[in-house]
Amino acid sequence: MTATTADSVLTARAVLLDMDGTLVNSDAVVERCWRRWADRHGLDFDEVIKVVHGRQGYASMAVLLPERPMAENYAENREMLAAETADMEGVVPIPGAPAFMAALAGLRLPHALVTSADVPLSTGRMAAAGLGLPDVRVTAESVGASKPDPEGFLKGAAELGFDPADCLVFEDSEAGILAGRAAGMRVVGVGARAAALGPTVHVDDLTGVRIADAGGGEFRLTFG
């Protein structure tokens, strides 16, 4: 697939979608839960929040507390997931996400959710944001390694039945963008966090994304 950078057009046969920061704004919940965690461990919250976006909780904890046994990270990750799932206050769609998801479904563009959240958290947040769940979901339970490992995106492409080069990733975080690149995919960076991370195309949100059927199983996505 090719990009025409002059008019910000990409073509793809399938789309792989991160959730938090890409489709759903859950920053308020994430910050509340991780601030409590940072305070409990005597860590600077400003440094903690730089790490956690895009990664599974245990992977973030391993970066922030490198000497701690992984068993403790996995245990606290389960607690973190439960706390986040119980807190949906302030969860809203990213601007343009409802229309974007409707366009994907209406055009029957193959797409999958690839998220570091588990099934309960992803189900809850998508519902809180008023967004429908794709038929294909790659969640925390589906993979053995967290982003920035490419496993999730590669699994998503495989489940949809497409080569990585035919897939377009939508991501907001450094870990997610690195994962998409490592999977051999082009990446649309969404939001302020993604702007400085060198995605193939950057958009402030999803309001300016337009999708058209290009024929032959290809879809044209225009960004502007």
Active site residues: 18, 20
What is the crossing angle of helices 70-85 and 57-64, to 10°?
A: 130
Helix residue ranges, H only, 112-220: 119-128, 151-160, 174-182
Question: Which residues does 30 contact at the CB level (< 8 Å), separation at least 6?
Answer: 20, 49, 52, 53, 84
Q: How far apart are CA 202 and CA 224, in angstroms?
A: 10
Q: How far is CA 144 from the centre of its chain?
A: 17
**5, exposed or middle or buried, with CB in 10 Å at 0-12, 13-18, 19+?**
exposed
Q: Which long-range contacts (CB under 8 A, 24 or more apart) does 195-200 make?
A: 199/171, 200/3, 200/10
Phi first, then psi, for residue 153 (nearest 5°) are -70, -40
Which DSSP letter does residue 94 get?
P
The CA radius of gyration of the chain, in Å to the nearest whole number, is 17
Question: Which amino acid, 54?
Answer: G
